[in-house]
Structure 1
Amino acid sequence: MKIKTLTVCTAMALGLMSGSALANSFDGNIGATSDYLWRGLSQTGGEAAFSGGIDYSHDSGVYAGTWASNVDFGDDKPTYEIDFYGGYAGEIESISFDAGYIYYAYPNADYDGDFGEVYLNLGWNWFGISTSYGTNAQDDETYEDAFYIEGNISYDISPTLSFAVAVGNQSFDIDGVEDYVNYNASLTKVTDMGDFTFMVSDTDIDDDDPIVLVSWGYGFSL
């Protein structure tokens, strides 16, 4: 589904969870972005997106949640996405980890484009690596056995301002769908009113132009 016109928002939802964040609690999040990007490709045809989610985290490291956003893949395609995920996160020595499963659902699509991914994220100091493997694809098998890997570096300029760069590679195990590389750089400002991010993103896909976006996210306890 996503490759046809293939968030910041998803990245925020699936980011590495630190040990201090693993409280036994329910939390909510809302967000807005000028363009919903997923691995460098727009999910909204270059238009704005609004999102929200609910997460449960146990002090053992087990967590589960759901997240939803509007999408736009063209005529007669789904207008919203709902993700369901669960996993286990923690820290060993100075290395953080997050392993789990996420299912991408498009309830009002004209065909079943849902699919899932198993993921593993690792972090150390400034550095992080994220991997995912596609599974449980329904009518559209684009992401069945697809593999994604991304490396990123994040640096805190100040207690409320951070800079990050990331490079990822999406590969497919299906004829006629080409692999591609995506990369981005971003600045995030933390405020009492939420986190504001400015990002520049691009891919190596022919005729693909750089995308500049701004986003806002706010998390709260339930």
Structure 2
Amino acid sequence: MKHKTINFAIPSLITAFTLLSAPALAVEGLSANVGFTSNYLWRGVTQTGDSAAISGGIDYAADSGFYAGTWVSNVDFSDDASYELDLYLGFSGELNDNISYDLGYIYYAYPDSAESDKDNEYDFGEIYAGVSFSNITLTANYGIHNDDGAQWADKALYISADAEFEVAEGLSLNLHLGDYSFDDDYDDGDYIDYGISLSKSGFTLALTDTDLDNDDVKLTVSYAIDLDL
């Protein structure tokens, strides 16, 4: 989850449409996921130099609401880093039939990012909280304990809103809006990302853009499958 078109790194996660939204309440046990996307985007920013990515992960969910998992994808920042490894855990539940919540922590690791420069380690963490009202999800992510190469992530705040609508049988329309703000030393890099996507049977077609200078609208095609273990 890093980007170099501005003066600091910008990180990534789990889908080509939106970086981290509160996960759906899961059935107890182990599950796996495998995905392919024509462009790995995280919060509107490519993590693969506008090239394709293959990803996969394993998750555990308990009836109590506790969950934990890991996820990996190739990345390309034109430097040492070749893959991203995410580790996360959290707790989710329902307040009533219409309102659910999710609280957790995620660690973004780039194990080979500092092979040629020990000060170029990108790893960082975030705590997050989300609440869903029917088909709308609001999420906040806050950056903590970053490494030297990800100093921008410290105290960075990402707030997002996502809405999902079933427009036809099995066809979902998703709308996304996010605001990424940074600490005073990097506040000239604050930006907004937004997008729209259609999903059916594991396939997603998405249009994504940001208000960053010289950033164009990106069209991505993705496919993902979930497997019970």
Q: How does 1:1-222 map to 2 (within 5 A)?
A: 2-5=2-5, 6=10, 9=15, 14-19=20-25, 21=26, 23-74=27-78, 76-93=79-96, 94-110=98-114, 111-140=120-149, 141-176=151-186, 177-190=188-201, 195-222=202-229
Cα distance in 2 for residues equivalent to 1:9 and 1:152: 13
Contact 1:17–1:90, Cα closer than 8 Å, also in 2: no
Q: Which runs of 4+ in 1 moved over 2 A?
A: 3-8, 10-19
- 1:79 Cα deviation from its structure 2 partner: 0.4
- 1:72 Cα deviation from its structure 2 partner: 0.4
Q: TM-score, normalised by structure 1?
A: 0.91
- 1:9 Cα deviation from its structure 2 partner: 1.8
Q: Which runs of 5+ in 2 are unaligned?
A: 115-119
Q: Which runs of 5+ in 1 are unaligned?
A: none
Cα distance in 2 for residues equivalent to 1:114 and 1:180: 21
Q: TM-score, normalised by structure 2?
A: 0.89
Secondary structure of 1:9 counterpart: coil
Cα distance in 1 for residues equivalent to 2:216 and 2:82: 24
Count of matched residue positions in the alignment of Structure 1 and Structure 2: 215
Cα distance in 2 for residues equivalent to 1:40 and 1:65: 23
Cα distance in 2 for residues equivalent to 1:26 and 1:159: 28
Letter in 2 for 1:118: I
Instruction: Give me the CA root mean square deviation.
Output: 1.8
Cα distance in 2 for residues equivalent to 1:10 and 1:85: 18
Cα distance in 1 for residues equivalent to 2:160 and 2:28: 29
Cα distance in 1 for residues equivalent to 2:16 and 2:171: 20
Letter in 2 for 1:89: S
- 1:215 Cα deviation from its structure 2 partner: 0.3
Residues 93-128 of structure 1 show CA distances to partners (whole Å, capped at 9, x for unaligned) of: 121111100000000012311000000111111211
